[in-house]
Amino acid sequence: QVQRVESGGGLVQAGGSLRLSCAPSGRAISRYAMGWFRQGPGKEREFVATMSWSGGSTSYADSVKGRFTISRDNAKNTVYLQMNSLKPEDTAVYYCAAGQVYGSSWSEMTQAYDYWGQGTQVTVSP
């Protein structure tokens, strides 16, 4: 497991923005496809966004397209998730994950990832 990875979560009103960061210690993200997933109350973990190791390919869940943006700064060993126009249904614990193989469909599945962070809570109030 990757320790102390995610940050940037919090409480925000609907329509607001947050930027999550994922900075795994002891692991170079430049070698991995990176993804963001979330798990809402009483729900299964679901795919949010993913980016190839080079940053040249991305994929998003339909529910967040046009609102969320995944990016990476390999020099800072950090992956970001910019979340705009947040909705109450975006409330969840958000996890970042690292996987050794990238594929636009494969990387939308939890099975594609080998390492997971501990998660950061995002709460969006109406």
CA atoms of 45 and 68, how far apart (whole Å): 17
Contacts of 71-79 with C-beta under 8 Å, sequence gap 24+, read 72/29, 72/34, 74/28, 74/29, 74/30, 76/23, 77/23, 77/24, 77/28, 77/29, 77/30, 78/21, 78/22, 78/23, 78/29, 79/21, 79/22, 79/23, 79/29, 79/34, 79/36, 79/51
Helix (H, G, I), strand (E, B) or coil at 112: helix
Mean pLDDT of 5-14: 94
**pLDDT (tens digit, 9 = 90+) per residue, 34-70?**
999 999 999 999 999 999 988 889 999 999 999 999 9
For residue 25, pLDDT beyond 70: yes
What pLDDT score was predicted for residue 3? 55
What pLDDT score was predicted for residue 4? 56
What pLDDT score was predicted for residue 2? 46
**pLDDT (tens digit, 9 = 90+) per residue, 76-120?**
999 999 999 999 999 999 999 999 989 888 999 999 999 999 999
16 band by pLDDT with thresholds 50, 70 and 90: very high
